[in-house]
Amino acid sequence: MTHSFAEMSARERLAAVVDAGSFHEWLPPSERVTSPHLAQLGVPAAFDDGVAIGRAAVGGRTVFVAAQEGGFMGGGVGEVHGAKLVGLLRRALRDRPDAVLVLAESGGVRLHEANAGLIAVSEVMRALLDVRAAGIATVMLIGGANGCFGGMGIVARCADTVVMSDIARHAMSGPEVIESAHGAGEFDSRDRALVWRTTGGKHRWLCGDCDVLVDDDADAFRAAAITALDAHRPMTLEELQQESALLQARADADGDNADAFVLWSRLGVPDARAVPDLDADALRPRRPASVAALAHGGA
């Protein structure tokens, strides 16, 4: 029996990923740490500001964990939401858990608190990189229905490991935003197949931007999280130089603004047209070795 990770709430996902009953929450809803800004706008607040944080065990090992709730303002990062993430990461730096897991589901900066959200996302990014530099594994699990976008999309890719389901999305700007800026000819937000092959889990896997591709299943995410606890990699000059070169080569492969199908073929994916019909198991071996170098734990 599989449990769709996408359809779960943040707290359900969290409970399914960590060892049963092991989650100890900091600043739980009972403490009512809410946004100081939403009330001024007449917008309802959430008692956890859309993110649960705390300590838990995964496979018997201590992790710090956060889960963003896409059902509350699209998982947008406001002042308090962001500060909870920063607090969790700074605490990880102090207390040294085996890993920090983030169940990321976010549209990025919460526009209702735009300025504070932007600074908060930047603080989260720096705090995450501090944790990573300290040798603590950082893991992003992206499987919520709202995807992981904007500033959180950037933050997520700063982690050691990004786990995605085949139906998840990880990108910067949503298709609606791009369409409203440059028209449906640029990016037709109603063309779901186009949207998914441009930003979805399968595409990110084939291009090396996602490190682990799983089915939309809570047990699969849990298994991937357990493996990722040991997947820390230090960030070195040599590694960043290699990443730079590989990212540039990939961009050069699409100098003519081609579709995903064309890009996959150029990268060496066999029978690119068949990709949308494949499940995660069938797709995984199709990632070309040259691209795998871009993924952590790849090659």
Partner 1 sequence: MDWMSVAARLFGTDHAIVADGDFLCGTADFDGTTLAVVGTTNHAAVGVDLALRQARAVLDTVARYPGRPLLLLVDTQGQALRRRDELLGIHRAMAHLGCCLDLARRRGHPVIGLVYDQALSGGFITSGLMADGCHALPQAEIRVMRVPAMARVTKLPEELLESLSRTNPVFAPGVANYVAMGGVRSLWGDDLAAGLRAALADRDTTDRRAQEGAQRGGRRAAADVIRRVLEA
Does 70 sit near partner 1 (CB under 8 A)? no
Among 39, 133, 282, 299, binds partner 1 (CB under 8 A): 133
Residues 25-64 that bind partner 1 (CB under 8 A): 26-27, 33, 35-37, 40-43, 53
Cα gap 156→121, rounded to integer Å: 11
Among 32, 47, 230, 240, binds partner 1 (CB under 8 A): 240
Instruction: Quote the distance between the C-alpha of residue 36 and its chain's center.
Output: 27
- Residues in contact with 106: Cβ distance below 8 Å, sequence separation at least 6, in sequence order: 68, 70, 74, 75, 76, 77, 146, 148, 149, 150, 152
Among 237, 273, 285, 289, binds partner 1 (CB under 8 A): 237
Total interface residues for partner 1 by CB under 8 A: 81
* Stretch in the footprint of partner 1 (CB under 8 A) among 2-10, 98-106, 109-117, 271-279: 109-117
Q: Which is nearer to partner 1, 99 or 125 (CB)?
A: 125
Cα gap 132→206, rounded to integer Å: 25
Q: Which is nearer to partner 1, 204 or 286 (CB)?
A: 204
Q: Are 103 and 17 in contact (CB under 8 A)?
A: yes
Cα angle 58, 90, 130; round to 5 = 95
What is the closest distance, in whole angstroms, from the C-beta atom of residue 156 to partner 1 in the complex? 8
Pick the closest to residue 92 from 122, 132, 121 (CA basis): 132
Q: Which residue has the tokens 């930047």?
A: 122
Residues 267-286 that bind partner 1 (CB under 8 A): none
What is the DSSP code string of 91-120? HHHHH--SEEEEE--B-SB-GGGHHHHHHH
Does 118 sit near partner 1 (CB under 8 A)? yes
Task: Dig out the tokens for 84 from the structure.
Answer: 């909870």
What is the closest distance, in whole angstroms, from the C-beta atom of residue 283 to partner 1 in the complex? 17
* Stretch in the footprint of partner 1 (CB under 8 A) among 1-9, 127-135, 217-225, 265-273: 127-135
Cα gap 184→5, rounded to integer Å: 30
* Stretch in the footprint of partner 1 (CB under 8 A) among 98-106, 225-233, 235-243, 273-281: 235-243
Q: How far is CA 6 from CA 42, 144, 167, 200, in A?
A: 29, 4, 8, 13
Does 203 sit near partner 1 (CB under 8 A)? yes
What is the closest distance, in whole angstroms, from the C-beta atom of residue 197 to partner 1 in the complex? 9
Residues 153-192 that bind partner 1 (CB under 8 A): 153-158, 170-173, 175, 177-178, 181-182, 186-187
* Stretch in the footprint of partner 1 (CB under 8 A) among 13-21, 217-225, 233-241, 281-289: 233-241
Q: Which is nearer to partner 1, 75 or 175 (CB)?
A: 175
Task: Dig out the tokens for 218 from the structure.
Answer: 């809570």
SS3 call for 122: helix
Does 86 sit near partner 1 (CB under 8 A)? yes
What is the closest distance, in whole angstroms, from the C-beta atom of residue 290 to partner 1 in the complex? 16
